[in-house]
Amino acid sequence: MEKAFKGRVVLAGNIKGEAVVTHQGLNILAAFQKSALKKSKRVICADQNNTELFNKDLTNKIICLPQTIGSTTGGMVLQAVSQLGIGPAAMLFSQHIDSLAAAGIILTHVWNGKNIITIDQLGEDFLQTVKSGQAVEVLEDGTVIVY
């Protein structure tokens, strides 16, 4: 059974893919830096404090989360993994997007010419509904459909 949610468009696009879900803040620096430094072919989450995503493959996934946390360097790390072609395909926030994620998404768009489709303000019900491994579709008007 599918369920639709409507959020605010930060960076528009249409995509369908696999969700990875966390109910706590994701530290972008801790999660992605190891893969960026190694110039890996995949991003395996290295954020040990995020037990929901630790050791999970985040490559080209649709990351569903409340917000990001951690160092301001996180934006540059997000840009770096996107430049390598192993960044997230989309980021879906239940809350307002935070400045750390926004910086990385803007840098990726401007410097790399790549889009990390981003929707925020999807609400807590969104995070309670979507599960890791589920198919999620994002429409450019901010509609997110969980299958």
Each residue's pLDDT tens digit, 1-30: 899 999 999 999 999 999 999 999 999 999
For residue range 90-103, list pLDDT tens digits in order.
Answer: 999 999 999 989 99
Rounded Cα distance between 35 and 63, Å, is 17
Domain that holds residue 97: 3-146
3: β partners: 146
Domain count, the chain: 1
Q: How far is CA 33 from CA 29, 86, 125, in A?
A: 5, 12, 30
The confidence band for 63, taking pLDDT boundaries of 50, 70 and 90, is very high
CATH of the domain at 127: 3.50.30.10
Which pLDDT score is estimated for 85? 95
Which pLDDT score is estimated for 72? 85
37 backbone dihedrals φ, ψ, rounded to 5°: -65, -35
Q: What is the 3-state secondary structure (H, E, C) of the chain?
A: CCEEEECEEEECCCEEEEEEECCCCEEHHHHHHHHHHHCCCCCECCCCCCCCCCCCECCCCEEEECCEECCCCHHHHHHHHHHCCCCCCEEEECCCCCHHHHHHHHHHHHHHCCCCEEEECCCHHHHHHCCCCCEEEECCCCEEEEC
